[in-house]
Amino acid sequence: MSGQEQEFDVVVLGAGSTGENVADVVVRGGLSAALVEAELVGGECSYWACMPSKALLRGTEVLTAARAVDGARQAVTGEQDVAATLARRDSFTHGWDDSSQAEWVDGAGIALLRGTGRLDGERTVVVTGTGGTTTRLTARHAVAVCTGSEAAVPPIEGLPGIDPWTPRDATSAKEAPGRLLVVGGGYVGCEMATAWQALGARVTLVQRGDRLLEEMEPEAGDAVAAALRDRGVDVRLRTDVLAARRDGGEVVLQCTGGELRGDEVLVAVGRQARTADAGLGTVGLTPGEYLDVDDSLQVRGLPWLYGVGDVNGRRQLTHMGKYQARQAGAAIVARARGEQVSTADWSPTAATADRRATPSVVFTEPQVASVGLTRARAAKAGVPHRVVVYPIGSVAGASLHADGYTGTAVAVVDAEREVLLGVTFVGPGVAELLHAATVAVVGEVPIARLWHAVPAYPTMSEIWLRLLETYRG
Ligand SMILES: Cc1cc2nc3c(=O)[nH]c(=O)nc-3n(C[C@H](O)[C@H](O)[C@H](O)COP(=O)(O)OP(=O)(O)OC[C@H]3O[C@@H](n4cnc5c(N)ncnc54)[C@H](O)[C@@H]3O)c2cc1C
Ligand SMILES: NC(=O)c1ccc[n+]([C@@H]2O[C@H](COP(=O)([O-])OP(=O)(O)OC[C@H]3O[C@@H](n4cnc5c(N)ncnc54)[C@H](O)[C@@H]3O)[C@@H](O)[C@H]2O)c1
C-alpha cells in the first residue's frame, strides 16, 4: 500500500471517448490534467460498442449493396466469410489492447493513472490501482466524471442466473451462436440481430412495444422489422419476457405468447449510469444515479464537478459525448481563467445540440439516420409543425444506388418559423445524407433559403428538393 498525493488542475474520471476529449481540451487550454481509467483507454466505443459492432455489420452492408445492383450481383457468388469478418472486427479493437490509445494520451500531455477512481469529498479523487496502491488526486479547478454507462438489467425472474449476453458479449463473441434470442428492439437489439443473423445465427428478436426503434419515426421501426423478417429473423413485437432459465445447454425464455429456446440470449434494453462505485456518496450524490447537469455539463449544486457523456443520461452516443467534452472542456478552462461562462443556446460552452439537434445512425439494413425532433416529439413539445414524407426511391440518385431502392424521408418543419425541426432518412446508404440535415437544423436555415442549396444530379441528396416541393404543395 502506498499513499501518493498529486495535484492537477483537472481530474477526469474515466478514459472513454468522452473523458479522453475532456482531458485533451483542458490541456490544450493550458491546464494540467490527470485521466483515471479502470479498464481500457478508449472505453466502450472502441472495444465493445461502436467500432466492433460496425465492423461486424460492414461486410453484410457491402454484400447487400452489391447484390442490389444488377451486373454486380452476378459477381457475388459466395457467402460472407464469418472468420474473416470476426478477424477484421478484432483488428479494430486491436485485440482488446489499448496501448495505442495510451500512447496518444501520453503524447497529448495528459497524465494517465490506471485504477478505479472514486470521489472522496470536494475536488478529491482516490485512485486504487492493481495491488491496492492508492493515489490521492486533488483538482485545483474541476473533476469531470466520465464513467459512462453499462447495460441495464431488466427485472426478469431467473435472468441473472442464466448468464445472459450483454452488448459487450454480442460485440466481442468469437463465433456465432446457433440460435440467438435478443431481448430489446432498440439500437443494440436491431443492429446485433442484423449482424448475427447474417453471420449464421438464427435470431429471434423480442420487443415489448408495438414497434422496433420506438423513439424514432414509425417509418424506421416498420422498415427495419420488415427487413429483418425478410432476412429470416423472427421479430416478436408486443412480447414481454416473464422468466428465464437454463435447460441443459439451452436458454429458455418464458414470454407472453409462449416459450422461446436458444443457445444464447442477448439482453439489450437500455443503459444505466456507471456511478455505483465512483464515490458519489462522499459529495452528497446518490450512487448508481445519472448525474444531473446543466448545459455546461456542470453538476447542479456542485460547481467544481462535471458529468460528461453517457454518465449524465442526456444523449448516449459517442459523438455527443465528445461534443459535450468540447463544451464542458471550454467551460472548465474559461472558469479557471475567471471568465463568465454562458449556458445560452448555441454558446461555445453549452451543449445545446443535446436538446435540439442530436444526430444518430442505426446501422441496420436499411439504415436509419435522424436528427432533431420526430413528429411525436414536436407534438409533445407543443410546437406547431408540418410533416413532409417522401419516398427516397423516387429520386434518380437512389434508383442508381440500388435496383428497386426503397426508403423514406420524413421532415418535421416548424410551421411558424419555417425552419426544420428534425429529419429522418430510412433506406440503404442514408447515413451520409445526415450531416446536411444536421447543418440545416442547427443553422435553423429558413426553408426559403434551402431552395438555394441545390443538390447535385444524380445523387440521393435530390431528396431535399423533393421534400421542399412537397412542403410547398
Ligand atoms: C453495442 C453498442 C453499440 C454502440 N454503437 C454506437 C455507434 O455506432 N455510434 C455512437 O455514437 N454510439 C454508439 N454506442 C454508444 C457509445 O458506445 C457510448 O455513447 C459511448 O461509448 C459513451 O462514451 P463515454 O466515454 O461517455 O463512456 P464509456 O465509453 O463507457 O467510458 C467510460 C470509461 O470510464 C471507465 N470507468 C468507469 N468507472 C470508473 C472508475 N470508477 N474509475 C476509473 N475508470 C472508470 C470505464 O472503464 C470506461 O473506460 C453504442 C453502444 C453500444 C452498447
Ligand atoms: N448506432 C448507434 O449509434 C448506437 C448503437 C447501439 C447503441 N447505441 C446507444 O446505446 C443506447 C442503448 O441501446 P439499447 O438498444 O440497449 O437501448 P434502447 O433504449 O435503444 O432500446 C431498448 C429497447 O428495449 C425495449 N425493452 C425494454 N425493456 C424490455 C423488456 N423487458 N423486454 C423487451 N424489450 C424491452 C425498449 O422498449 C426499447 O425499445 C442507445 O439508446 C444509443 O444511445 C447507439
Whether 291 lines ligand 1, by a CB cut-off of 6 Å, is no
Q: What is the mean pLDDT of the chain?
A: 97
Tally the C-alpha atoms within 13 A of residue 70's C-alpha that lie toward its C-beta: 5
Cell digits of residue 344: 445560452
Ligand 1 centre and the CA of 308: distance in Å? 11
Whether 39 lines ligand 1, by a CB cut-off of 6 Å, is yes
Distance CA 56, CA 84 (A): 10
Atom 1 of ligand 2: nearest residue by CA position:
362
- Contacts of residues 353-356 at CB distance under 8 Å and 24 or more positions apart, as own/partner, are 353/320, 353/323, 353/442, 354/295, 354/314, 354/315, 354/320, 354/323, 354/324, 355/314, 356/441, 356/442
pLDDT at 3: 81
Q: Where are the beta strands (DSSP E) in 161-217?
A: 179-183, 202-206
Backbone angles phi, psi at 262, to 5 degrees: -155, 180
Q: Which atom of ligand 2 is nearest to the CA of 214?
A: 39
Ligand 1 centre and the CA of 323: distance in Å? 14
Is 54 within any annotated ligand binding site? yes
Q: Is residue 124 over pLDDT 90?
A: yes
pLDDT at 399: 98
Let me know: does 93 contact 45? Beta carbons within 8 Å.
no
Is 191 within any annotated ligand binding site? yes
Distance CA 232, CA 229 (A): 5
Is 310 within any annotated ligand binding site? yes
The residue length of the chain stands at 473
Selected from 3.90.1170.50, 3.30.390.30, 3.30.210.10, 3.40.190.10, the CATH number assigned to the domain covering 366-472 reads 3.30.390.30
Give the ligand at the shortest distance from the Cα of 206: 2
Let me know: does 460 contact 429? Beta carbons within 8 Å.
yes
Q: Which residues contact 432 (CB under 8 A, 6 or more apart)?
A: none
For residue 369, list its beta bridge partners.
Answer: 361, 425
Residue 130: pLDDT band with limits 50, 70, 90:
confident
* Amino acid at position 18, single letter: T
* Amino acid at position 428, single letter: P
- pLDDT, one tens digit per residue, over 239-275 is 999 999 999 999 999 999 999 999 999 999 999 999 9
Backbone angles phi, psi at 112, to 5 degrees: -95, 130
Residue 277: pLDDT band with limits 50, 70, 90:
very high
- pLDDT, one tens digit per residue, over 336-372 is 999 999 999 999 999 999 999 999 999 999 999 999 9
Common-topology check for domains 4-42+98-150+272-354 and 160-270: yes
Q: Where are the domains of the chain?
A: 4-42+98-150+272-354, 160-270, 366-472
Give the ligand at the shortest distance from the Cα of 208: 2
Q: Which residues contact 40 (CB under 8 A, 6 or more apart)?
A: 46, 47, 96, 98, 101
Q: Which atom of ligand 2 is nearest to the CA of 212?
A: 39
- pLDDT, one tens digit per residue, over 311-325 is 999 999 999 999 999
Indicate the CATH number for domain 160-270. 3.50.50.60
Question: What's the mean pLDDT in 28-56?
Answer: 98
Cell digits of residue 452: 438555394
Ligand 2 centre and the CA of 208: distance in Å? 11
pLDDT at 2: 57
Let me know: does 349 contact 343? Beta carbons within 8 Å.
yes
Ligand 2 residue neighbourhood (C-beta within 6 Å): 154, 183-189, 191, 206-209, 214, 241, 268-271, 316-317, 360-363
Distance CA 251, CA 179 (A): 10
Distance CA 445, CA 87 (A): 44
Distance CA 262, CA 244 (A): 11
pLDDT at 1: 46
Q: Is residue 106 over pLDDT 80?
A: yes
Is 188 within any annotated ligand binding site? yes
Which residue has better confidence, 3 or 6? 6
- How is domain 4-42+98-150+272-354 classified at the architecture level of CATH? 3-Layer(bba) Sandwich (3.50)
Tell me the percentage of the chain whose pLDDT exceeds 70: 100
Q: Is residue 7 over pLDDT 80?
A: yes
Is 7 within any annotated ligand binding site? no
Q: Look up residue 461 and give its DSSP letter.
A: G
pLDDT at 51: 98
- pLDDT, one tens digit per residue, over 394-449 is 999 999 999 999 999 999 999 999 999 999 999 999 999 999 999 999 999 999 99
